[in-house]
Amino acid sequence: MTPWPFGLQTAPFPAVVDPRRYYPASTHELALRNLVGGWQEGEPWLALSGPAGSGKTLLLHLLMEQIPQGTKLAYVSQPPRDSEDLIRLVAHDWHLDDGLSPSGYLRNRLIEAILEGLKLGSPPLVILEQAESIGTRAMDELVNWSHLQGRGQAGIQVVLVAGGDVGGLTTLASQHSAWEMVGGGGMIQLLEPVEACDFLRFQLRWAGAQPNRILNNECEEKMIELGQGNPRRLCQLGRLACRLAVRSGLESIELEAIEEAALQLWGDPAAVQPQARHHGIAGTVTPARKSA
């Protein structure tokens, strides 16, 4: 017997990053194309920005799926404090750190790996989340690695991922000149109501449901209102509302379950301020939204 409610084949709303359940919203698709295209073209510095919960990490996983096996890849999820911290984190992901070697030795090994990548025409890739908080010395180290150039390519390719209330490259360039070298990437925005509706239905269909049997129009509209176009928030709300509906013996996700879920998650939903929709890298063109 399936453990999932309402006869579903799996969880109706994902709790963790799952590239299989990627919903191709308009700004997400544009940012993903720019990231993959920039990486394929050898762009040394790329950037991705967007509000918390908008799907940046999911896009990074989709990018990493494109990277050929054998390419040295470092995914740094927390901002390194200094150059030594960066060296150890990258050396770990490149399988160069035995846990005992001093950072100076590891730095030499990293440089050897970068030079080997230049010979093979396959520069390593370093992805850094929360890049707006990276220390100056760590940024300096990244710049030094990228200056190891040969055969018309940089020693490494870097993806800087910025979130929170960061306004764009102009603001970030005041923190470190590395941001001025960004030559590609994109921004993602919160979902417009039409896309939020489609996102909910997409997740339910993926779980094996007919959306209108699980979520009627009124409940769908309430979830869109409370979710504020944020994919993470929509999934949080959907998961908890689903559990509450099951505990109450309901045969679908009803309005009272959604409102109770929002109350448990965020307190008074009416007191929650809508999130800003216009956020990201300055100068990036925002595509036209899908029509209803």
215-233 pLDDT per residue, tens: 999 999 999 999 999 999 9
* pLDDT higher than threshold 80 for residue 101: yes
Residue with tokens 């005041």: 174
- Provide the b/e sequence for 125-160 (b: ≥16 CB within 10 Å): bbbbbbbbbbbeebbebbbebbeeeeeebbbbbbbb
Q: Which amino acid is at 86?
A: L
What pLDDT shows up at residue 150?
81
Phi, psi of 270, deg, nearest 5: -70, -20
Flag whether pLDDT at 276 surpasses 70: no
What percent of the chain is predicted at pLDDT more than 90?
73
Question: pLDDT band at 284, cuts 50/70/90?
Answer: very low
In the chain, residues under CATH classification 3.40.50.300 are 26-187
Q: Is the pLDDT of residue 282 over 90?
A: no
Give whichever of 1-15, 107-121, 174-188 has the largest mean pLDDT.
Answer: 107-121
* Res. 21: pLDDT tops 80: yes
Neighbours of 227 (CB within 10 A): 25
- Which pLDDT band holds residue 280 (cuts at 50, 70, 90)? very low
CATH code for residues 191-271: 1.10.8.60
Query: Would the pLDDT of 281 be above 90?
Result: no
Q: Smallest Cα–Cα separation from 133: which of 175, 170, 98, 171?
A: 175
Q: Given pLDDT bands bounded at 50, 70 and 90, which one contains residue 41?
A: very high
Q: Is the pLDDT score of 258 beyond 80?
A: yes
Q: pLDDT tens digits, residue range 118-168?
A: 998 889 999 999 999 999 999 999 999 999 988 788 999 999 999 865 556
Query: Angle 58-79-113 (CA atoms, 0-180°, nearest 5)?
Result: 85
**What's residue 268's pLDDT?**
67
**pLDDT given at position 165:** 55
Identify the CA nearest to 8 among candidates 197, 200, 198, 206.
206
CATH-assigned architecture of domain 26-187: 3-Layer(aba) Sandwich (3.40)
Q: At 114, which helix (H) or strand (E)? A: helix 103-120
* Amino acid occupying residue 45: W
**pLDDT over 80 (residue 37):** yes
Q: What pLDDT is recorded for position 157? A: 96
- Return residue ranges of the chain for CATH 1.10.8.60: 191-271
